[in-house]
Structure 1
Amino acid sequence: MNWNKLQDNAQLDQIRNESAEQPVLIFKHSTRCSISSTALSRMERNWSDAAGIKPYYLDLIAFRSVSNQVAEDFGVPHQSPQVLLIQNGECVYDASHFDISFDALKQQVVSA
């Protein structure tokens, strides 16, 4: 799995634009949380590029302001860990903690 690092608020406009062409995943990860590490590991083990989703990784400890902007821009209350699926500039799916699963994410791409 090849993560794209999300480290700057300006990248959120890029993500909105990219999401018009393909679904985009934002994975908000806390490097201080064992649940977050488990969710990240599960996502990486089950990931398939064949789903056509572009993945972004956000270290929310190092880039707290970006994490806050993600919550504001996409209208999703902050959780950690958390995934957001962005399509056509909007968050069409989000999950947190042990509800994070690649299979659930794939199903949302098909239905969105």
Structure 2
Amino acid sequence: MSELRELQSNEELENVWDSTTEKPTLLFKHSTTCPISAAAFKRYQSFIESADDRVASYMVKVIESRDVSNQIAAKTNIKHESPQIFLLRNKEVLWHSSHSKITVDAINNALQRSE
């Protein structure tokens, strides 16, 4: 099972960004006040429960860690949405999605295409 870790600082984000050269990394941007985000986060957690250690799993609470959320948008050059998920590898975004398009199948498909 992959371990889900929360990013709360830009320094942590930089460390994760650098570690994407070691293995694929999922990064989920979550709004703790939004029911759509809560539903997508449950689907992300379902994926993580069935995932092995071949993928690293992170999340950012966009309200509580606004600066980290903004830094993700700046680093990826992708407009902020919430909920939003990114598949990162070698410091690049291989795939991203948002809202109801965040599903276990979509995440699995993105990972398979990245291998």
Query: TM-score normalised to the size of structure 2?
Result: 0.89
From the superposition, tell whether residues 37 and 67 of structure 1 become closer, same or farther in structure 2 (CA, over 3 Å): same
Q: Kindly tell me the number of residue pairs found equivalent between the two proteins.
A: 112
CA RMSD of aligned residues (A): 1.4
* Deviation digits for residues 56-101 of structure 1 (CA, Å, limit 9, x no counterpart): 1101110011100000001111000000111000111110000001
**Aligned equivalent of 2:89, options 84, 87, 90:** 87
* Deviation digits for residues 18-69 of structure 1 (CA, Å, limit 9, x no counterpart): 1111111111000010000001112212332227211111011100111000
**Partner residue of 1:36?**
37
Long gaps (5+) in structure 1: none
Runs of 4+ residues deviating >6 angstroms: none
Query: TM-score normalised to the size of structure 1?
Result: 0.91
Long gaps (5+) in structure 2: none
